[in-house]
Amino acid sequence: MDKPVSALHLAASGMRAQSERLRHTAENIANIDTPGYRRKLVTFEEATRFGRPTGEVEASKLRLDRSDLPRIYDPSHPMADKDGYYLGSNVDLVIEIADSREAGRSYEANLKMFEQTRQMGASLLELLRR
């Protein structure tokens, strides 16, 4: 595979991975007040084809944050136990906002790389036509 096409594949894989990260971050934020909800974590790994690394990135299996769920006192809550407590969500809004900003900026960087590679290819074709 030639370098410009390879660069396009690399940038596209980065955008796909960051898009998935943004989706899970949005799910976490949406479920911040859902009792018993565990934060979803996304990590990245190098993609392989036919057992060989490609240099592209992909999101690995989804994992759940196994940190302790907070006990919330609210005797009127339908899920409260006999002592008036129920298990809340382990999602921290500040962390999720920071993660979403980081993923968004990384997505934008990959998009910029994709656009620049495409422009270079178009410029090369224009030079070859002359």
- Report pLDDT for 1: 43
In the chain, DSSP assigns E strands to 40-41, 44-49, 52-59, 63-64, 71-73, 85-87
Say what the pTM is.
Answer: 0.80
- Report pLDDT for 53: 79
pLDDT, one tens digit per residue, over 2-57 is 455 588 888 999 999 999 999 999 999 999 999 999 999 999 988 887 878 778 88
27 three-state secondary structure: helix
Which tops the pLDDT comparison, 118 or 24? 24
